[in-house]
Amino acid sequence: MSDASSHGHSTSPTPDPSPSAPWEATGTDRRAIPQRTTGWAARTADLLHSTGLTPNQVSVGSVIFAAIGALALVLSGTVEHDGARSVWLIMTVVCIPLRLLLNMLDGMLAVEKGMHSPTGDLFNEVPDRVADVLLLAAAGYATRGLWAVDAGLDWGLFFGWSAAVLALMTAYMRTLGAANGVGNFFQGPMAKPRRMWVLVVACLLSLFEPLFGMRGLFLALALVLIAVGAAVTVGMRWWFVSRALERKAAPDAAASSSRTRGPA
């Protein structure tokens, strides 16, 4: 469940996905999401379509859930009572999957229901990036004080913002491939769906932290994992896009060389 099911809410054809090596792929227009083909997803898309909601409105809705989840995360780090903290954490656990669900449904409305629009690219990408930053930075604030050092550096905040910036970079590298004509590359261990589910698991595990008195530990560890995984993802996508661009340029270079030499 997740990534905006169709990048740009477009209906452009998917390039040939069967190259001999990963970096020779031209990329794909849509992330493979198994849930998209399920009956419940189709029925939900039908319901949204019947209400008249547009893909852009659904995309904005995903940010609203992300903002609520982010606020709940921040508040979970400020309350002293374990019961109140659990309520905020559970709210985040509910909001993140809803954010991912709407990310999938906006694309289903755009593609399967033919509701794509000229502004689809903007509403597909920008809300997603805002949602990522809100949730990951908020997770950092939820761990505030856990790994603070005398020099004034709070490692929880550092990894929260690092994870947020690197999440932006994973999307940036993907869209660079599309902008340069080689398609979207989704490779890497910490794409959006995985980093969001890591955050969900960390929130659930955090419910048990009062048993051993280490508040914020699981969220902090999750942010380290997300930041490292996102950095690897950025590197992988850089490599794949670079190789795809080189492959794309090779025929043009060969043709140019042939014209320069002239007939034998």
pLDDT tens for 43-102 read 988 888 889 989 999 999 999 999 999 999 999 999 989 999 999 999 999 999 999 999
d(CA 192, CA 135): 12
pTM comes to 0.83
Q: Please, which pLDDT band fits residue 128 given cuts at 50, 70 and 90? A: very high
Query: CA-based angle 113:97:32, to the nearest 5?
Result: 50
pLDDT tens for 2-22 read 333 343 454 333 344 444 454
pLDDT tens for 163-205 read 999 999 999 999 999 889 888 899 999 999 999 999 999 999 9
d(CA 227, CA 165): 9
**pLDDT for the residue numbered 264:** 46
pLDDT tens for 30-40 read 677 777 778 88
d(CA 228, CA 189): 10
| Distances from the Cα of 144 to the Cα of 15, 92, 128, 160, 204, angstroms | 45, 17, 25, 10, 18
Nearest to 98 by CA among 62, 74, 150, 128: 62
